Amino acid sequence: MSRAKQITAPKRSTRVTYQLLAFAHQQTIAPKVLDLNDTVERMLKMLRRLIGEDIDLAWHPRRGLWPVKMDPSQVDQIMANLCVNARDAIADVGKLTIEAGKVAVDEASCADHPGFVPGDFVLLAVSDNGCGMASEIRDKIFEPFFWTKALGQGTGLGLATVYGIVKQNGGLVTVYSEPGKGTTFKIYLPRPARHAVADQAASIGEDPKGRGELVMVVEDEASILTLAGKILSGLGCRVLLAASPAEALQLAETQPVDRSIKAGTGPVR
C-alpha cells in the first residue's frame, strides 16, 4: 500500500465510523436546551462559504420559537450535511432556503403521516431549487452507503447521519422531491418538557476554556477548517490547521511544541 493510501485510509475510516455511530444512535452527545434560531444564525457565515458564491442562501427564522434539547454540534452536523447535499444538487446558480417554525401534531395528523406522534415540535426545513430526485432515489437516500456521486466523492453517510441524529433526539425527518423541482427536507424536533428547560437555566455557567493546549485540526473542507481554528483559538487553545493528512504529518514533524507560548497565541492559519 502506498504512503498516500496509508494516510487516507485511517482518515476515511474515522469519518465513516463517526457517521455510523450517529446513524446507529450511539454517538456520544451532550444535549442542552437551545434556541434553534440562534444556533442556525451562528452557522450562516460558514454555510455560505460551504455552498459557494453562486448559490443564494435565505434564512427565515420564526419569532417565539420553542426551545429544543440536543447537542449543538449535532445541529451543525445536520445543517452542514443538508447544505452540502443541496449544493451538489444545484448545477450552476441557485437558491437554498432554511426555515424554522413550530408545529403542533395531533392524532389526526399522525394518521396521515406514519411515524409521527402527538406533541409540539420545532420544524427546521432546508429547501433547494436543484435537480430534484426521482422516487427510486428518494426512497433510499437515508440508507447508509447509498450515494449517487462519483466513486471517491462521498461516503454515502451524509443523509444517513442526519437521519440518525434526528432519531437519536426523538424527532422525525421527511423529504419531498421531484426531478426538476428541487428538494425539501423537513426535520421535526420535539419540544422539551418545561422542567428540562428550568433545570438547564439553573445550571448554566461559563463556557469551558482551554489552558494553552496544542490542538491540530485536519479537514479538507477549507471553510470548516477555518471555523474550527477560530473556535478553538477563542477558547484559549493553540491551533495547527492542516488541509490534508500529508500536511498534518509535515506540521507534526516540523513544528515542535513550545510550552512557553501563551494560550491563544499559537500558530493559526
Task: Say if residue 99 is exposed, middle or buried (CB neighbours under 10 Å; 0-12, 13-18, 19+).
Answer: middle
Question: Taking CA 266 as the corner, what is the angle to CA 256 and CA 219, rounded to the nearest 5 degrees?
Answer: 85
At CB < 8 A and 24+ separation, what contacts does 144-152 make? 144/20, 144/23, 149/88
More confident residue, 80 or 224: 80
- Over pLDDT 90: what percentage of the chain? 35
* Nearest-angstrom CA–CA distance, 90 and 92: 6
Q: Kindly report the pTM of this predicted structure.
A: 0.62
C-alpha cell of residue 127: 429547501
Residue 267 is predicted with a pLDDT of: 42
Picking from 235, 239, 238, the residue whose alpha carbon sits closest to that of residue 209 is: 235
Torsion angle of the four alpha carbons 68, 193, 66, 21, in this order, in degrees rounded to the nearest 10: 10
User: Grid coordinates in use for 144?
Assistant: 447508509
Q: Report the pLDDT value the prediction gives residue 148, as an integer from 0 to 100.
A: 57
Cell of 119: 406533541
DSSP string, 2-19: -HHHHHHHHHHHHHHHHH
Least confident of 75-84, 166-175, 203-212, 232-241: 203-212
For residue 4, the model assigns a pLDDT of: 45
Kindly state the average pLDDT of the residues 72-85: 91
**3 state DSSP class of 146:** coil
Residue 157 banded pLDDT, cuts 50, 70, 90: low
| pLDDT classification of 138: cutoffs 50, 70, 90 | confident
Higher pLDDT, 159 or 108: 159
Grouping H, G, I as helix, E, B as strand and the rest as coil, residue 3 is helix
pLDDT band for 214, please (50, 70, 90 cuts): confident
Q: Kindly give the residue spans of alpha helices, DSSP state H, lying in 102-216.
A: 107-112, 135-138, 158-168, 194-203
